[in-house]
């Protein structure tokens, strides 16, 4: 069953966010598709907590956790935490 990584990101330090993207690209990206990345998503209901939105699809939860919990991604995430204010969720697909 696929799982989805959804991130709402408010970038406070553009250089730091660029460093995060470079570091994250080195993490093990197996079984993942970048489905959407938008700097100005249209809010059609309620409020949205950051202008940048990222949507990734993983083949399954095991591949998601292998990526997210990897030392490489955790090192990258630490850079993101300093450069942004983010909300991140993992959502199970209907598979």
Q: Quick one: CATH architecture of 3-92?
A: 2-Layer Sandwich (3.30)
First to last CA, the chain: 5
Q: Does residue 6 carry a pLDDT above 80?
A: yes
- CA dist 32 and 67 (Å) reads 9
Percentage, residues of the chain above pLDDT 90: 85
DSSP 50: -
Length of the chain: 95
pLDDT at 49: 81
pLDDT at 1: 95
CA angle 68, 74, 75 (to 5 degrees): 145
Residues 42-77 pLDDT 10s: 999 999 888 899 999 999 999 999 999 999 999 999
Task: Categorise residue 46: left if φ over 0, alpha if ψ from -120 to 50, beta otherwise.
Answer: left
Provide the residue ranges of all domains of the chain, joining segments of one domain with +. Answer: 3-92
DSSP 2: -
Single pTM value for the model: 0.89
Binning pLDDT at 50, 70 and 90, where does residue 80 land? very high
Contact in structure between 94 and 37 (CB atoms under 8 Å): no
Q: Looking at residues 81-87, what average pLDDT do you find?
A: 97
């Amino acid at each position: 069953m696929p799982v989805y990584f959804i991130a709402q990101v408010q970038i406070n330090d553009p250089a730091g966010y660029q460093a995060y993207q470079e570091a994250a690209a080195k993490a093990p990206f197996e079984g993942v598709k970048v489905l959407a990345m938008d700097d100005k998503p249209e809010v059609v209901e309620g409020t949205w907590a950051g202008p940048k939105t990222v949507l990734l699809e993983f083949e399954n939860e095991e591949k998601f956790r292998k990526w997210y919990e990897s030392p490489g991604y955790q090192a990258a995430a630490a850079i993101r935490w300093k450069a942004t204010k983010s909300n991140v969720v993992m959502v199970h697909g209907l598979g």
